[in-house]
């Protein structure tokens, strides 16, 4: 187990260490040592750059933190032999037609509850709605 010295190495953990003979290692404090921490740092940097280039409302910050990692998962990486993480995970090349819009792009969408002449409404593209419908459902 690796700890960063943040105080979680308590007596209960010491007892587990003695019981199961676990080797505890300490990393340097305040240093991004794991791959996940480095990836989170990269996502934050890309979010800030996307907001500065395309704009957006500050209340939608939680959606850009969904949009950027999703976009990064469709980009080929050298470490994966120039395959995307999605292709590496599922074993087939993913459909990228749902990535045709960029963050905060002005779009028109169909409002099925509106009257006939007011069905097309303006909006902004925020992200792909993974929890609703198929791959062509978006958060607007």
Confidence of residue 94 (pLDDT cuts 50, 70, 90): confident
- Tens of pLDDT, residue by residue over 107-124, are 898 888 888 778 888 888
Question: Three-class SS of residue 132?
Answer: coil
Q: DSSP character for 100?
A: -
- The C-alpha atoms of residue 97 and residue 59 are separated, in whole angstroms, by 27
Question: Three-class SS of residue 114?
Answer: coil
Give the predicted TM-score (pTM) of the model. Answer: 0.65
Question: Three-class SS of residue 42?
Answer: helix
């Amino acid at each position: 187990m690796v700890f960063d010295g943040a105080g979680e190495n308590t007596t209960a953990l010491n007892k587990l260490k003695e019981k199961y003979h676990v080797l505890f290692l300490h990393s340097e404090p305040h240093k991004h040592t794991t791959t996940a921490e480095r990836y989170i740092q990269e996502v934050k940097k890309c979010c800030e750059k996307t907001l500065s280039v395309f704009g957006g409302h500050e209340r939608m910050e939680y959606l850009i933190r969904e949009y950027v990692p999703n976009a990064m998962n469709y980009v080929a990486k050298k470490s994966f032999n120039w395959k995307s993480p999605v292709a590496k995970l599922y074993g087939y090349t993913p459909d990228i037609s749902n990535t045709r819009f960029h963050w905060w792009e002005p779009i028109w969408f169909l409002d099925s509850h509106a009257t006939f002449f007011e069905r097309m409404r303006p909006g902004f593209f925020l992200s792909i709605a993974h929890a609703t419908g198929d791959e062509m459902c978006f958060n607007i």
